[in-house]
């Protein structure tokens, strides 16, 4: 069976047997006879043929079929665009090009598998209620894979010695695991590892250049600079600890696969992707001494979740009423306070956005109003939020909202009627985001 999940003859990212094994609902998957010959047969077929087979059998609907084909085409095309650039990446990093390609395939494959599982998994199986709250199983499955990559890659980020080399070393997994666009994955994977940069990177690695580089921390880990508590999130790990972390994350994958009622073949596939990570690291012994730490990324704040929601609305030509701005602020504040270990973050926002769109459509259909203004406006009545009663009580008490300058911690009042996104702090003179305020305790 292990040989089957390593067969990329018809698809460079996902063997046909893996795609076939996740098709349909849990009941139909259990009813299938997944013997070696059947799975080997699917490995000889392309994605279109496999999708057509299960569509004709009534195990997936037309919408699912179209989404699977579209997602597969998008990722495969992107990966093929990346492959010609891989020799340069290998040359600059000192790694075998074949190892770099295996790493890229593993990262792209994991992202594609996550996309297809989201398309095929029934909503009632996607979430699990636990003592800590509702867990998004699909997100926790992919999050476990992120931990495997983080453990295998073990990026080293010393605050006192930021360099172009240490910034560049984070690019592979950051580009592939923390973006949803395939073009960004391709460009980010190659990033600074271009042939013309080799001499400069080698000099930086030898310590000949001590100037700071592009400061990835300013883009991704800005929070580290101003919080001693969060600096403790930089953990030193050694070989045994990395191995234990990988084993723990892989056990998480096994458990979630069982809860999602997916076939054992999916576990074998994740195991294969994990091995590709380790093979890449082992292809250059210097990595073990150079990369000995990893960084944990914090959950989005309620204000950041609100800004993501607004961005989704803006991209879809929608505007928010002040009442809705206030409601989603309380909505995400409540969910953030009650979050579990596997907090959904941006996926949680997308689910909220989709529910708002559906509610808006039903509201307009019932009202019979199809004016342009109504079609492009979402209001407070659209989202169904567990924070509704809390918001009503908050308004009654007239607590008001605040917004804080992150540079000097100076507080200002905030109202949802404000239409500005950024303001200049009167105390320190620096710009700060004031699109959403803070709910007072």
Residues 243-275 pLDDT 10s: 455 556 666 777 777 777 777 777 777 777 766
Host H or E run for residue 48: helix 47-56
Mean pLDDT of 262-289: 63
Average pLDDT score over the chain: 74
Asked if residue 377 lies in contact with residue 411, where contact means CB atoms within 8 angstroms, the answer is no
Mean pLDDT of 192-200: 68
pLDDT at residue number 249: 63
E strands, 2-47, in order = none
Per-residue pLDDT tens for 83-120? 998 888 777 766 677 777 887 888 788 888 888 888 88
Domain-by-domain residue ranges, the chain? 4-295, 302-439
342 is written with which tokens? 């596997």
Q: Going by CATH, does the domain composed of 302-439 fall within 2.60.200.30? A: no
Question: Which of 125, 128, 105 shows the shortest CA–CA distance to 117?
Answer: 125
Per-residue pLDDT tens for 51-67? 999 999 898 899 999 99
Task: List phi, psi (to 5°) of 338.
Answer: -100, 15
Host H or E run for residue 136: strand 133-136
Burial of residue 272 (number of CB atoms within 10 Å: 0-12, 13-18, 19+): middle
Asked if residue 175 lies in contact with residue 167, where contact means CB atoms within 8 angstroms, the answer is no
Write down the residue that tokens 């950041």 correspond to. 304
Question: Which of 316, 302, 304 shows the shortest CA–CA distance to 440?
Answer: 302
Tell me the β-bridge partners of 413. Answer: 402
Question: Which of 377, 136, 375 shows the shortest CA–CA distance to 256?
Answer: 136
Strand, coil or helix: 282: helix
* C-alpha–C-alpha distance, residues 300 and 275, integer Å: 31
Give the relative orientation of helices 388-397 and 322-337 as an angle to the nearest 10 degrees: 110
* Predicted TM-score of the model (pTM): 0.52
* C-alpha–C-alpha distance, residues 197 and 272, integer Å: 32
Asked if residue 130 lies in contact with residue 153, where contact means CB atoms within 8 angstroms, the answer is no
393 is written with which tokens? 């009580």
* C-alpha–C-alpha distance, residues 97 and 91, integer Å: 7
Stated length of the chain: 441
Per-residue pLDDT tens for 204-241? 555 433 333 333 333 233 323 333 333 333 333 333 44
pLDDT at residue number 94: 67
Question: Which of 426, 375, 380 shows the shortest CA–CA distance to 405?
Answer: 426
């Amino acid at each position: 069976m292990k040989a089957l999940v390593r067969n990329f003859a018809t698809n460079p990212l996902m063997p046909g047997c893996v795609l076939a094994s996740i098709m349909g609902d849990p009941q139909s998957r259990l009813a299938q006879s997944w013997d070696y010959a059947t799975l080997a047969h699917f490995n000889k077929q392309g994605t279109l043929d496999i999708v057509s087979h299960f569509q004709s059998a009534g195990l997936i609907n037309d919408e699912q079929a179209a989404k699977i084909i579209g997602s597969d085409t998008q990722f495969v095309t992107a990966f093929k665009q990346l492959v010609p650039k891989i020799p340069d990446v290998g040359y600059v990093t000192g790694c075998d090009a074949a190892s770099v390609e295996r790493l890229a395939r593993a990262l792209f494959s994991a992202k594609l598998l996550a996309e297809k599982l989201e398309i095929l998994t029934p909503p009632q199986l996607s979430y699990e209620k636990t003592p800590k709250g509702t867990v998004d199983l699909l997100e926790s499955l992919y999050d476990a894979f992120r931990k495997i990559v983080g453990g295998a890659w073990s990026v080293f980020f010393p605050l006192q010695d930021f360099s172009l080399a240490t910034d560049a070393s984070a690019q592979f997994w950051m580009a592939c695991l923390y973006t949803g666009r395939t073009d960004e994955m391709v460009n980010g994977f190659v990033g600074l590892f271009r042939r013309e940069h080799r001499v400069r990177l080698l000099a930086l690695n030898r310590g000949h250049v001590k100037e700071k580089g592009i400061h990835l921390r300013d883009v991704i880990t800005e929070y580290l600079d101003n919080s001693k508590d969060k600096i403790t999130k930089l953990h030193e790990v050694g070989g045994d600890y990395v191995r234990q972390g990988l084993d723990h994350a892989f056990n998480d994958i096994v458990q979630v696969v069982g809860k999602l009622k997916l076939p054992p073949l999916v576990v074998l596939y994740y195991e294969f992707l994990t091995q590709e990570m380790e093979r890449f690291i082992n292809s250059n012994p210097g990595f073990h001494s150079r990369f000995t730490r990893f960084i944990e990324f914090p959950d989005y704040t309620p204000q950041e979740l609100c800004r993501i929601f607004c961005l989704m609305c803006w991209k879809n030509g929608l505007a928010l009423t002040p009442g809705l701005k206030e409601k989603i602020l309380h909505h995400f504040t409540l969910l953030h306070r009650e979050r579990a270990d596997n907090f959904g973050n941006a996926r949680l926002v997308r689910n909220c956005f989709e529910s708002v769109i559906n509610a808006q459509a039903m509201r307009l259909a019932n009202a019979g109003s199809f004016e342009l203004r109504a079609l492009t406006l979402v209001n407070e009545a659209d989202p169904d939020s567990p924070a509704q009663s809390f918001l009503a009580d908050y308004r009654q008490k007239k607590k008001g909202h605040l917004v804080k300058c992150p540079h000097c911690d100076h507080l200002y009042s905030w109202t949802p009627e404000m239409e500005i996104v950024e303001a200049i702090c009167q105390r320190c003179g620096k710009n700060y985001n004031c699109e959403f305020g803070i709910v007072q305790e």
